[in-house]
Amino acid sequence: MATTTAQPDLTVSTSDGMVQGIVVNGVRAWRGIPYAAPPVGDLRLRLPRPVQPWEGVLDAGRYGPVPPQEPGLPSMGAGRKTPMDEDCLTINVTAPLDNAPPRPVLVYFYGGGFTIGAASAAAYDGTNLVERGDVVYVCMNYRLGALGFMDFRRYSTPERPFDVNVGLADQVAALRWVQRNIAGFGGDPENVTVFGESAGGMSITALMCVPSAEGLFHRAFVQSSAPATAYGPGLPEKWAGSLIELLGVSDEEAPNALASLPAERLVKAVGRLTRKVTPESEPGALAVAPVVDGEFLPLHPIDAFRTGKAHRIPLVIGNMFREGALFDRVQDVLPTTEERIDTMFARTEPELKARVLAAYPGYPSKHAAVDVGGDVVFWLPSVQVAEGHCAYAPTWSYRFDYAPRVAGLLGIGATHGMDTPAVFGNYTTGLGRFLTLPGSKRTTVSVGNRFRGALLRFARTGNPGLWPAYGIGTRATKVFDDTDRVVQDPHRNRREAWNGYRGYR
């Protein structure tokens, strides 16, 4: 007697209309679903607006265009042939084939310094997470660069107003979409874990301090955030003025230019601003970043975490062992030279500078300077978040020390971004393939399995397991390496030396 196999349910009703997904690599996938109105025309540089509901069934079998950005590695953002468009506010969902009881939801925010990145990037394919973790995976595009993370309010006119923090607001709109719709894809809207690396991690630590994001997610797993990367008032206005100068327009011409110039012009100007201008004038700062505007983002994230004003949800936060090494080799934007470090410390007391630099043996050697830059941007503010948040909600700290053989040969060690293949289990393309070159594959995959396991346990139970929570008394930190271990208060001498440093706050 012939048997039949139940076909997976690929048609889902959302709050805006019906969508039709596909089956790919043994999972169900819906791609390119609009979660906000196209931010074009009069909606450029404005807060996201609701989607216009559609008639019929939307074909959700292809990714939507990526946000305007400079072409880069296809595995991380936009390749040279990848379609780009300002009409980019779409969301992707991946789920197991069967409609089981509601599953935990994992929502990923991609990195890229708020200037590159895309939810369609191969590095962020969630198939392994869905299959191993029995979860529903979500990733969305959000506006980048000048179109998403700069403050042009000084150029607003009654006829052409501009909003601020529109990229962060895109993320809030996407999380609201998840709350409204994820049950239809088999996800549990009451169990949403956000995770992200680099700018994705920065997004999360900022969103934890955004009042309108409260209740939209319930746990946060933060990789290599730079939580102090939020500014205002003062610097965002200065950087907006610098961008206008780079565009070659006057202040009087700025409103029309911002409203009508091709996105490519804005992208190129942001590239010059972030790679040439701010690394020398404000070393360690990022000109495209969340803005502390007093309303959408009322407080600087570090201050919000310290005073209990951040959302009191379970948090896992950690860093790579040598965050700064990648930037010194690939994208020279951190304060990793003696000249930039001197400029960075010019706004603080000489005694504090001397104390900090004494904690880095060999300074001003290149190795020590790179560690100073990586620590001040990534490690130090992540520690400050953990020590603040642990007084109000469960908090865990980790450090990713594992470096495959090829990274050691290159002299970069466990540096920024190397945990991305680990958390996704994607080792067949891009960085993952590089990290599993001969001599390292077995250990690299094993470390990745353990790291990914911590994320999945956290999403399911609210506890990553296998290491104690962070507290001021012990500062327990899980170290992921060939052999994992727990360290109490790692780099204590450095942490104490930085005490009192406020950076650009």
Chain segment 186-201, per-residue pLDDT in tens: 999 999 999 999 999 9
Q: Cis omega before residue 233 (within 30°)?
A: yes
CB-CB contact of 279 with 332 (8 Å)? yes
What type of residue sits at position 140? M
The residue among 350, 152, 173, 379 whose CA lies nearest residue 251 is 152
Q: Concatenated DSSP letters for 243-303?
A: HHHHHT--TTTHHHHHHHS-HHHHHHHHHHIIIIIHHHHSTT--SSS-B--SSSS-S-HHH
d(CA 380, CA 409): 27
d(CA 23, CA 395): 37
Ranges of beta strands (E only) in 85-223 are 90-95, 103-109, 136-140, 187-197, 219-223
Name which of 5-9, 36-40, 126-130, 245-249 the model is least confident about. 5-9
- Model pTM score: 0.96
Q: Which domains, from first to last, does the chain contain?
A: 17-497 (3.40.50.1820)
**For 320-327, what is the mean pLDDT?**
94
Return the pLDDT at 411: 84
What per-residue string of b and e applies to 26-49 under the rule 16 or more CB within 10 Å gives b?
ebbbbbbbbbbbbbeeebbbbbbe
d(CA 478, CA 420): 17
The position carrying tokens 């293949």 is 421
Return the pLDDT at 438: 63
Q: Which residues 6+ apart lie within 8 Å of 407 measured at CB?
A: 413, 414, 415, 418, 435
Percent of the chain with pLDDT over 90: 87
Return the pLDDT at 80: 64
The position carrying tokens 């993370």 is 149
If pLDDT is split at 50, 70 and 90, which confidence band does 118 have?
Answer: very high
**For 81-104, what is the mean pLDDT?**
93
d(CA 94, CA 424): 13
**For 373-378, what is the mean pLDDT?**
98
CB-CB contact of 490 with 470 (8 Å)? no
List the structure tokens of 171. Answer: 């993320």
Strands of 90-95's sheet, edge to edge? 22-24, 27-34, 90-95, 136-140, 103-109, 187-197, 219-223, 315-320, 395-400, 476-480, 485-488
Return the pLDDT at 3: 40
3-state secondary structure of 448: helix
Strands of 57-59's sheet, edge to edge? 11-14, 17-20, 57-59
CB-CB contact of 451 with 418 (8 Å)? no
The residue among 14, 31, 48 whose CA lies nearest residue 168 is 48
d(CA 427, CA 430): 8
Which sequence positions are flagged as catalytic? 198, 323, 416
Mean pLDDT of the chain: 94
Has residue 437 got a pLDDT over 70? no
**For 150-166, what is the mean pLDDT?**
97
CB-CB contact of 147 with 86 (8 Å)? yes
The residue among 207, 497, 223 whose CA lies nearest residue 382 is 223
List the structure tokens of 211. Answer: 């009042």
CB-CB contact of 124 with 154 (8 Å)? no
Return the pLDDT at 7: 67
Helix 338-345 × helix 350-358 angle, to 10°: 140
Residue 366 burial (CB count, 10 A): 13
Q: Which residue has the higher pLDDT, 427 or 94?
A: 94
What is the tens place of the pLDDT at every residue in 19-74?
999 999 999 999 999 999 999 999 999 999 999 999 999 999 999 999 999 987 66
